[in-house]
Amino acid sequence: MWSRDKLTKAGVGAMATALVASTVFAGAAVAQDKSINVAIVGNPQMEDIASLTPSLFTEETGIAVNYVFLEEQTLREIVTRDVGAGGQQFDVVMIGMFEAPQFGRNGWLVDLNQYAGGDADYNVDDIIPAVKNGLSWDGGLYAAPFYAESSFVMYRKDVLEDAGVAMPDAPTWDEVAEIARTIDTDEMAGICLRGKPGWGDLGAIFTTVANTFGATYWEAGENDTIGAAQIDQPEFKEALQFYVDLINDVGENDASNASYNECTNQMLDSKVAMWVDATVAASNLEADDSPIKGKLGYALSPTKVTDASGWLWAWALAVPENAPDKDTAWEYVKWATGPEYLATAGDILPGGWATVPPGTRQSLYENPSYQEAAAAFAQKTLDAMLAAPIDNPGVQPRPGLPGVQFVGVPQFQDMGTRCTEQFSAAIAGNISVDDALSACQAIASEFEGESW
Amino acid sequence: MTAQAEPTGSPDPGAERAAKIAEFQRRDKWRRRLPLLPALLFIIVVTQIPFIFNIWYSLQDWRIVPPRGPDFVGLENYTEGYTNQFFLQSVGISITMTTAAVLLSLLVGTALALLLDRQFLGRGIARTLLITPFLIMPVVAGLLWKNQIFSSTFGVLNAIIEAFGLDAIPFVERYPFWAIVTVLVWQWSPFMMLIILAGLQGQPTDILEAARVDRASSRGIFTQITLPMLRPYMELGIVLGAIYLLQVFDHIEVMTGGGPGSTNVPYFVYQRSIGGGWDFGQAAAYSTIVVIASIIIATFALRVLSSLFQRQEPV
């Protein structure tokens, strides 16, 4: 009789074989003693480190790194499958603040404190405390942050000035919407907001809007359970209607297909004048090779009834409990998230010091080269991260571990992805806001009473 | 008459011979079946055993996010399953999407086949080019249409629309169902075309000639002779097309990633299992429901079809 475990492994193995075809082999020319497989999300900072890995890491250590770049949503599926169902495809996986404490709680990840704790070179105390806490569970550190971010408003100072409007340092959503409607032209949209389905895409930014409008997905239930779904409440409708109207009136083209990367491109091409999204985006907008470098202003994430609404997020590297060679995996994690990479990469990267992965270590913000290159946004990034209402994001208690742009329960990713499909369809105009809300209420109700 | 049925013990040469022949025939049958056994065994191993596992999983409460089970829950997954509004929606999408795509590609395929059935310069090249969409990988076809034709930023179609001074239409986002059906029709028309073309070229020329001698009009020849003769080919196209198009997944994954209007049953089951739901018990139950429904429909369709085929033969 075959065990269920073995069958699952066989399935995961078959999928893994398909993946290998898309693997990017870095450092093929270097003599290699060992090699590891790393699954990461295909954002610019990750592509940078992949291009520097052969010269900075493989040459020093003899460890070849095979990167697999994936879209956020695909990465989540594959990583969950790999670490959750016992596959052994990856030695190192990139996960976020949503997954790290939950996967740690499930016993799927190696507690990195056993390596990092005694390592003076790695200097774990240099990591910004809020980020470290967000990646920990019950005293264990389950992922090492590669970059961390909050969310804020990025706007074209020149465009706002021409239109004769000013952005407050801590704007409300009503103010932001009014400014967006004022500066919107045929050539340049007033605002870029995510509309692509996925709890980490549209879900991330919209949840911060819902929070500050006083809405929530679920009530907190008793004894660590999920309470009643709250999407049928008037606050939720107000938030979604506001978001959909703003995008349809003055938002970017193809909004229901736009996420972080699409908005980055539209900002760089001067197709939009304002953008509410991750603070890490500033690194690309202010890079040496950016056409809009120096033209940007920054303000805190917009609010409505709460005091702060910015999210807190980190993309972090974790080692699965079933990884074949944990020591080698840690060597890579140590290099990729350690102080040394932050100190050396700035001089080599084509985008210069501004594009170094931000938000993880105090030492980066004390580095004079970074301070100079990132003067426009470094302090604003830190301010936004400190302001993120991680412990109390809305007006009511909610189930699960702490989280701003997500609810810290495992069921959230399923609910969030399916609900954002509905919201995205409402943005595209396929269905009405009311239909989207009632469908989402039905989806969220499926999880009522479940423990997390 | 067999040897065992012989009442007396005395050897009857006729009966003995009959028994030998029967024995020989039995052996001969097995000699013919034997080489097929590995294939049969293979089919059982790769389809039936996984299906039994699937049924077993469908009776369990088993999730990996959050980790739970597997615990035996009987038919609970089924009773919850077939009343779920999103499952029913996906069933509706599957039926309408398959019907629309099969019928439209049959229509386009027949039209193309009729054109290709004529003699003209460069017919071989035209035929090769027309077949090409069928040879393109579904994922590539989906991405190609989404980004280079439908997209309101990079799409050719929208460039043309904008050249006329109209506003760009985000086709995939605004009309996900028809955007996907369009790509399916583009990919499957060549398949239908090939089948219909085979039918057209198999037409006995003497009947057509006789009709022309009798001064039948072109339209009359087409509706009275060609079309009835093409009927079994069209039916074959519909059955094969429906079997493949019911399983569409790739186009949906790369073009819309699911959502109201584009989540069909395969995509829905994917989402409930490894696509984010991680609810293997529930997903297995949906799969089983779909298999049972498919068997019922397929049996019905095949019976109708085989009777149709038989009726065609005397023509």
pLDDT in tens, A149-189: 999 999 999 999 999 999 999 999 999 999 999 999 999 99
Q: Do the beta carbons of residue A264 and residue A351 sit within 8 Å? A: no
Measure Cα distances from A419 to A150, A207, A436, B28, B68 in Å: 23, 11, 8, 62, 23
User: From the candidates A269, A412, A414, which should be mutated to test the interface with B, based on the most B CB atoms within 10 A?
Assistant: A414
Q: Is A155 helix (H, G, I), strand (E, B) or coil?
A: strand
Helix (H, G, I), strand (E, B) or coil at B34: helix
Q: What is the dihedral of CA B61, B65, B67, B69, to 10 degrees?
A: 10
Domains and their CATH numbers in chain B: 76-312 (1.10.3720.10)
Instruction: Kindly state whether A254 is in contact with chain B, defined as any CB-CB distance less than 8 angstroms.
Output: yes
Residues of B with CB below 8 A from A409's CB? 66
| DSSP code of residue A36 | E
Interface test with A, best of B61, B169, B178, B274 (most A CBs within 10 A): B274
pLDDT of residue B315: 43
Residue A240: CA count within 13 A, CB half-sphere: 29
Query: Which residues of chain B neighbour A425 with C-beta distances below 8 Å?
Result: 176, 259-261
Which helix H or strand E contains A441, and what residues bound it? helix A433-445
Q: What are the residues facing A314 on neighbouring strands?
A: A148
Contact A63, A33 (CB under 8 A): yes
Q: How far is CA A230 from CA A22, A198, A201, A234, A237, in A?
A: 42, 20, 21, 9, 10
Give backbone dihedrals phi and psi of A156, rounded to 5 degrees, phi first: -85, 110
What span, in angstroms and rounded, lies between the C-alpha atoms of A54 and B121? 56
Where residue A19 falls among pLDDT bands split at 50, 70, 90?
very low
Minimum-distance CB partner of A257 among B85, B173, B274: B173
- The verdict on a CB contact (< 8 Å) between B258 and A197 is yes
Residue A183 · residue A415 · CB < 8 Å: no
Is residue A314 within 8 A of residue A359, CB to CB? The reply is yes
> Å from A430 to nearest chain B CA?
6
State the DSSP H helix or E strand holding residue A74, giving kind and residue range, or none if neither: helix A72-79
Strands A34-41 and A63-70: what pairing?
A: parallel
Residues 6+ apart with CB under 8 A from B10: none
**Tell me, what's the pLDDT at B10?**
55
Nearest-CA residue of chain A relative to B67?
Answer: A106
Which helix (H) or strand (E) element contains residue B189?
helix B176-201
Query: How far away is chain A from the Cα of B297, in angstroms, using its nearest Cα?
Result: 30
Amino acid at A184: D
Q: Which residues of B touch A7 (CB under 8 A)?
A: 53
Give the mean pLDDT of chain A.
89
pLDDT at residue A328, as a whole number: 94
Better-predicted residue by pLDDT, A11 or B164: B164
Tokens representing residue A289 in the block: 């090779």
Give the pLDDT confidence score for residue B251 in this predicted structure: 95
Check CB contact under 8 Å for A106 and B271. no
Q: Which CATH superfamily is A4-142+313-373 part of? A: Periplasmic binding protein-like II (3.40.190.10)
For testing the chain B interface, which of A98, A257, A438 should be mutated: the one with the most B CBs within 10 Å?
A257
Does position A86 have pLDDT exceeding 80, yes or no? no
**pLDDT-above-70 percentage for chain B:** 93
Backbone angles phi, psi at B71, to 5 degrees: -125, 140
Cis peptide before A397 (omega within 30 of 0): no
Rounded to whole angstroms, how far apart are CA atoms B142 and B147? 9
Q: Is the pLDDT confidence value at A240 over 80?
A: yes
Q: Spell out which residues of chain B touch residue A420, defining contact as CB-CB under 8 Å.
A: none
pLDDT at A21: 39
Distance from the Cα of B84 to chain A's closest Cα (Å) equals 10
Interface A–B counts its CB contacts (< 8 A) at 92
* Confidence band, pLDDT 50/70/90 cuts, at residue A4: very low
pLDDT of res. B64: 79
State in Å, rounded, how far the first CA of chain A is from the last one.
33
- CA gyration radius for chain B? 27
Residue A367, both tokens: 């580095």
CB nearest A253 (choices: B86, B168, B257): B168
In this structure, the number of other CB atoms found within 10 A of the CB of residue B30 comes to: 10
The residue to which tokens 């539209």 are assigned: A266
Whether residue A106 and residue B176 make contact (CB cut-off 8 A), yes or no, is no
- Residues whose CB is less than 8 angstroms from the CB of residue B166 and which lie 6 or more positions away in sequence, other chains included: none
Mutation target to probe the A interface, by most A beta carbons within 10 A, among B58, B173, B250 is: B173
Q: With bands split at pLDDT 50, 70 and 90, how would you rate the model's confidence at B309?
A: low
Query: Sheet of A151-156: strands edge to edge?
Result: A274-278, A151-156, A296-300
At A217, phi and psi to the nearest 5? -80, -45
Query: For A139-148, A290-299, B19-28, which range has the lowest pLDDT when averaged over its residues?
Result: B19-28
- Whether residue B259 and residue A425 make contact (CB cut-off 8 A), yes or no, is yes
The stretch A6-12 carries a mean pLDDT of 44
What is the average pLDDT across B251-276? 90
Residue in B with minimal Cα distance to A78: B274
- Chain A residues with CB under 8 Å of B174 CB are 428-430
For residue A185, the tally of other CB atoms under 10 A from its CB is: 11
Interface touch A253/B276, C-beta < 8 Å: no
- HSE of A293, CA atoms in CB hemisphere, 13 A: 15
Q: Which of B49, B65, B255 to mutate to test the interface with A (most CBs of A within 10 A)?
A: B65
| Beta strands in B163-300, from DSSP E residues, in sequence order | none
> Any bridge partners for residue B71, and if so which?
B61
What is the secondary structure of A297-332 as a DSSP string? EEEEPPBSSSS-----EEEEEE-BTT-S-HHHHHHH
Cβ contact, residue pair B276, A413, below 8 Å: yes
pLDDT over 80 at A79, yes or no: yes
Residue B2 is predicted with a pLDDT of 45
User: Which one-letter DSSP state was computed for residue A258?
Assistant: -
Amino acid, res. A363: S
How far apart are alpha carbons A225 and B118 in whole angstroms? Answer: 70
Does the pLDDT of residue A39 top 70, yes or no? yes
Say how far residue A7 (Cα) sits from the centre of its chain: 33
Strand ordering across the sheet containing A63-70:
A24-25, A63-70, A34-41, A92-96, A313-318, A144-149
pLDDT at B8: 52
Would the CB atoms of B271 and A451 count as touching at under 8 Å? Answer: no
Compute the Cα dihedral for B268, B269, B270, B272 and give only its sign. positive
pLDDT digits (tens, 9 = 90+) for A355-391: 999 999 999 999 999 999 999 999 999 999 988 998 8
Residue B14 has pLDDT above 70, yes or no: yes
Q: Phi first, then psi: what are they for B60, rounded to 5°?
A: -110, 155
Q: What is the pLDDT of residue A92?
A: 94
- CB of A132 within 8 A of CB of A362? no
B125: phi > 0 → left, psi -120 to 50 → alpha, else beta; which? alpha
Which secondary-structure segment (H or E) carries B282? Answer: helix B280-312
- Identify the pLDDT of residue A246: 97
Q: Which amino acid type is present at position B232?
A: P
Within 8 A of A197 by CB-CB distance, chain B residues are 257-259
Whether the Cβ atoms of residue B78 and residue B300 lie closer than 8 Å to each other: no
Helix (H, G, I), strand (E, B) or coil at A192: strand
Contacts of A400 in chain B (CB under 8 A): none
Q: Do B257 and A4 touch (CB under 8 A)?
A: no
CA distance A72 to A259: 11
Cβ(B205)–Cβ(B292) below 8 Å: no
Judged against a pLDDT cut of 60, whether residue A420 lies above it is answered with yes
d(CA A309, CA A405): 9
- pLDDT above 70 coverage of chain A, percent: 93
Structure tokens at A408: 């810290």
Q: Under a CB-based contact definition with an 8 Å cutoff, are residues A304 and A211 in contact?
A: no
The minimum CA-CA distance between A216 and chain B, rounded to whole Å, is 21
List residues bridging with A226 in a β-sheet: A220
Nearest-CB residue to B260 (from A81, A410, A422): A422
Given CB atoms, is A19 within the 8 Å cutoff of chain B?
Answer: no
Inter-chain CB proximity B168 and A73 less than 8 Å = no
Q: Do A442 and B261 touch (CB under 8 A)?
A: no
CATH number belonging to the domain at A151-311+388-445, selected among 3.40.50.970, 3.40.190.10, 2.40.50.1040, 3.50.50.60:
3.40.190.10
CB contact, 8 Å: A234 with chain B?
no
User: CB A451 to CB B66 under 8 A?
Assistant: yes
Q: Which two tokens stand for residue B211?
A: 């009709």
pLDDT at A12 over 80: no
The Cα of A305 is separated from the nearest Cα of chain B by a number of Å equal to 31
Q: How far apart are CA A359 and CA A135, in angstroms?
A: 14
Amino acid (1-letter code) at residue A366: E
ipTM: 0.79
Highest mean pLDDT among A21-30, A110-119, A122-131, A268-277: A268-277
Write out A336-359 in H/E/C secondary structure: HHCHHHHHHHHHHCCCCHHHCCCC
Q: Does residue A224 belong to the interface with chain B, where contact is any CB pair within 8 Å?
A: no
Query: B110 or A392: which carries more pLDDT confidence?
Result: B110
Q: What span, in angstroms and rounded, lies between the C-alpha atoms of A238 and A223?
A: 30
Maximum separation of any 2 CA atoms in chain A, in Å: 75
Is A34 within 8 Å of A62 (Cβ atoms)? yes
Tell me the angle at which helices B227-245 and B280-312 cross, rounded to the nearest 10 degrees: 170
Give B135's contacts (C-beta < 8 A, 6+ positions apart).
none
Q: Closest Cα to residue A84, out of B286, B272, B68?
A: B68
Cα B122 from Cα B139, distance rounded (Å) = 30
Is the confidence at residue B104, as pLDDT, over 60? yes
How far apart (Å, rounded) are the C-alpha atoms in residues A169 and B242? 59
pLDDT level of residue A11 (50, 70, 90 thresholds): very low
Question: What per-residue confidence (pLDDT) applies to B35?
Answer: 86
Note whether A414 contacts B66, CB cutoff 8 Å.
no
Residue A449 C-alpha, separation from nearest chain B C-alpha, in angstroms: 14
CATH 3.40.190.10 in chain A, residues? Answer: 4-142+313-373, 151-311+388-445
Q: Residues 41 to 80 of A: which have CB under 8 A from any B CB?
A: 73, 76-77, 80
DSSP bridge pairs for A275: A154, A192
B253 min Cα distance to partner chain A (Å): 11
Which pLDDT band, with edges at 50, 70 and 90, does A32 fall under? Answer: low
Q: Cα(B196)–Cα(A10) distance, rounded to whole angstroms? A: 42
Helix pair angle (B227-245, B85-116), 10° resolution: 140
Is the pLDDT at A18 greater than 50, yes or no?
no
